[in-house]
Amino acid sequence: MLFILLTVLAILFLVPIIFIFINSFKGKFYISDSPFSIPMGKNFTGLENFRTGLELSGFSSAIFWSFFITILSVVAIVFFTAMTAYYITRVKNRWTSAIYYMFAFSMIVPFQMVMFPTVKLADMLSLNSPWGMVVLYLGFGAGLAVFLYSGFVKSIPLEIEEAALIDGCSPLKNYFKVVFPLLKPTAITVAILEAMWVWNDYLLPYLVIGVSTKYKTIPVVIQMLVGSNGNRDMGALMAMLVLAIFPIIIFYLLSQKYIIEGVAAGAVKG
């Protein structure tokens, strides 16, 4: 019974992706008239929608900047928050406890509450660039990452680190040679969750970078396909959505085996 229920849920979740995929190969008028029909015959346009979308939207440039921002942001989050979580977990005092609860509290604060001050601060500090977006994503993504890392660090026996120190490891070498390799499941989980968020995020790049610069990301470019008065080329829009979701799906499929292990280890230990 549970298997049947999960199968039905999986199909329901896959329907929107299948809908986008089949309509990316149909003419825009046929998408409105018969959205669930299989693209064949006169309603099949081949790769025409993809060519139109790439020509109209500047998608190739957006792909580069989306990869640039996503990769650097995820690397920064995985690297820096792991060290932060290790420190505040191993060093027990009121300050590290306060820092931990501040990170945990940041996860429940809606983005709309900090949207205006974030944009103003980004303008003041000249963070309205791809490098600035990496800094902003590091700040917004640190809460969840520190929470998961801290839970896993608590499960690492101190005896392992003490043995490494006795053998002559410096504290820095002890962290990178002993502790950080043990954090691999949680690090991959953090990377998956943060990559999916950064890659698909529309609001923060739109508010900080805007639409009038060359640094537009894929979600911003796709939204620009919607013209004035709501006019849109649905065929090109569907084709660009297919190209947008393809990389992150591949990344998730290659890394999904680690996500349950990492979440369980980071959320329930200690």
Domains and CATH numbers, the chain: 64-221+258-268 (1.10.3720.10)
Instruction: Please give the residue that has the higher pLDDT: either 32 or 104.
Output: 104
Is the per-residue pLDDT at 57 higher than 70?
Answer: no
pLDDT of residue 18: 86
Q: Which residues are CB-neighbours of 174 under 8 A, at least 6 positions away? A: 161, 164, 165
Give me the phi and psi of 84, to 5 degrees please: -60, -50
Confidence of residue 109 (pLDDT cuts 50, 70, 90): confident
Confidence of residue 159 (pLDDT cuts 50, 70, 90): confident
Query: Of 9, 228, 204, nearest to 122 (Cα)?
Result: 204
Confidence of residue 138 (pLDDT cuts 50, 70, 90): very high
Cβ burial 67-90 (10 Å sphere, 16+ → b, else e): ebbbebbbebbbeebbebbbebbe
Is the per-residue pLDDT at 270 higher than 60?
Answer: no
Q: Over the chain, what is the mean pLDDT?
A: 84
pLDDT of residue 13: 84
Predicted confidence (pLDDT) per residue in 191-249, tens digit:
988 998 999 999 999 989 887 778 889 888 888 776 655 567 778 888 888 888 888 88
Is the per-residue pLDDT at 52 higher than 60?
Answer: yes
Is the per-residue pLDDT at 22 higher than 90?
Answer: no
Give me the phi and psi of 226, to 5 degrees please: -80, 115
Place of tokens 């698909």: 200
Q: Are 68 and 132 in contact (CB under 8 A)?
A: no
Average pLDDT value for residue range 59-86 = 92
Burial of 195 from C-beta contacts in 10 A (0-12 / 13-18 / 19+): buried
What proportion of the chain, given as a percentage, has pLDDT over 70?
A: 92
Predicted confidence (pLDDT) per residue in 245-265, tens digit:
888 888 888 777 776 665 555
Angle between helices 48-57 and 59-90 (to 10 degrees): 80
Q: How many whole angstroms from its chain centre is CA 39?
A: 31
In angstroms, the Cα distances linking 232 to 48, 52, 56, 153, 228 are: 16, 12, 12, 50, 8
pLDDT of residue 67: 93
Q: Which residues are CB-neighbours of 148 under 8 A, at least 6 positions away? A: 85, 186, 189, 190, 262, 263, 266, 267
Tokens found for residue 57: 């939207």
Lowest mean pLDDT among 50-59, 68-77, 124-133, 156-165: 50-59
Cβ burial 144-177 (10 Å sphere, 16+ → b, else e): bbbbbbbbbbeebeeeebeebeeeebeeeebbee
